């Protein structure tokens, strides 16, 4: 039986707009405040966007791609154009690009594991270079960058919906799905990757329930996934991370769906810390393990997961009050070997990890 979803209850996560004076500003949900408060922040300062990314106010690979491009566009439309104009006409374009380089580098380096952040920055910088090379003034380049970010927002939603349609084909009727972290609408411009599959499958009446791992140490599953599913009208049960094994052993899980922050050419997947353990459990219990991600998250320049840089975060996320003599290891991500992944679902199709590089090369050709 088809289920009526309430996706209208899910706000847009990140969106570039113009204020009353026509200046560019980024609107984003401060995800640190959820689920207690739904707070929209607005800023025209590219540095504030970088800080929001580092602090996890903005998170999720596709959303980070938009944030990266938006930071470049904000700099270009505000500080960048003003500085180039103040310098004068002679060499304004070259000066604009020179000033852009450190902005782009700082933005791309804000979180090293999530490849979409650097991807979004590179896309914006490449456009700026092409425009200046063709004779565009800094102000014209800034306007074009604004338009490019708006295109990226629309593209992201379309890609997510395509992932949802492709992935829903893998979900059997009456499925109970386990997920880890948040790869939902909150991690994208709108709709989501792993939860995009949930939404598409739920609309077809295939989803009985979603079990959301709390996802220690900062609780994206407890704070974000559970909140999002409840608003959308998908039955959800929140579990502690260490309950997944017992749930699987009891026969309570039919499929595992997770997102990704970077996927190597061989299909190794970097995702939120704890994903690897869930994949091991799924294989032991004979449960299919699916990864959902846009093709922009696939990094064919890296042969395998060992080459993926893993971000280590503030120890206070694990131990708010330090204990003398106690060290804290706090990696934000782990790498799930391709051998534990059944399918990687992209907007181009669902592929076995070993087919990924050849399949995407054929599609791009």
Catalytic residue list = 261
Give Cβ neighbours of residue 312 (< 8 Å, ≥ 6 apart).
329, 330, 331, 332
Give Cβ neighbours of residue 321 (< 8 Å, ≥ 6 apart).
none
Give the integer Cα–Cα distance in Å for 133 and 126: 11
Give the integer Cα–Cα distance in Å for 57 and 49: 9
Taking the CB of residue 143, how many other CB atoms lie within 10 A of it?
18
Nearest to 167 by CA among 360, 343, 2, 303: 343
The alpha carbon of residue 274 and the mean position of all alpha carbons in its chain are separated, in whole angstroms, by 17
Q: Could you tell me if 118 and 135 are in contact, meaning their C-beta atoms sit under 8 angstroms apart? A: no
Nearest to 216 by CA among 350, 64, 319: 319
- Beta-bridged to residue 345, according to DSSP, are 292, 350
């Amino acid at each position: 039986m088809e289920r009526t979803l309430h996706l209208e209850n899910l706000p847009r996560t990140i969106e570039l707009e113009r204020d009353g004076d026509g200046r560019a500003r980024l609107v984003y949900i401060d995800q640190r405040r959820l689920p207690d408060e739904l707070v929209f922040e607005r800023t025209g300062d590219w540095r504030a966007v970088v800080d929001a990314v580092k602090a996890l106010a903005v998170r999720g690979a596709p959303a980070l791609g938009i944030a990266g491009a938006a930071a470049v566009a904000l700099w270009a439309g505000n500080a960048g154009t003003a500085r180039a104009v103040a310098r004068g006409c002679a060499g304004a374009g070259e000066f604009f690009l020179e000033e852009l380089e450190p902005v782009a580098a700082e933005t791309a380096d804000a979180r090293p594991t999530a490849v979409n952040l650097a991807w979004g920055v590179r896309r914006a910088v490449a456009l700026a270079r092409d425009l200046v090379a063709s004779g565009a003034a800094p102000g014209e380049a800034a306007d074009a960058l604004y338009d490019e970010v708006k295109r990226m927002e629309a593209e992201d939603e379309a890609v997510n919906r395509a992932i949802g349609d492709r992935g829903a084909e893998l979900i059997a009727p009456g499925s109970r799905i386990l997920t880890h972290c948040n790869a939902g609408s909150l991690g994208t411009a709108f709709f989501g990757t792993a939860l995009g599959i949930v939404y598409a499958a739920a609309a077809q009446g295939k989803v009985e329930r979603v079990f959301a791992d709390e996802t220690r140490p900062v609780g994206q599953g407890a704070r974000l996934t559970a909140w999002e599913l409840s608003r959308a009208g998908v039955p959800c049960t929140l579990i502690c991370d260490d309950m997944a094994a017992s749930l699987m052993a009891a026969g309570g899980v039919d499929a595992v769906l997770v997102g990704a922050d970077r996927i190597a050419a061989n299909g190794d997947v970097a995702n939120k810390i704890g994903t690897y353990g869930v994949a091991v459990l799924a294989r032991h219990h004979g449960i299919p393990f699916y990864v959902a991600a846009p093709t922009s998250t696939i990094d064919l320049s890296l042969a395998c997961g060992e080459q993926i840089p893993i971000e280590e975060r503030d120890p206070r996320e694990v131990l708010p009050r330090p204990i003398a003599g106690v060290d804290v290891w706090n990696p934000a991500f782990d790498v799930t070997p391709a051998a534990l992944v059944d399918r990687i679902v992209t907007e181009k199709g669902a592929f076995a990890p070993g087919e990924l590089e050849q399949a995407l090369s054929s599609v791009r050709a």
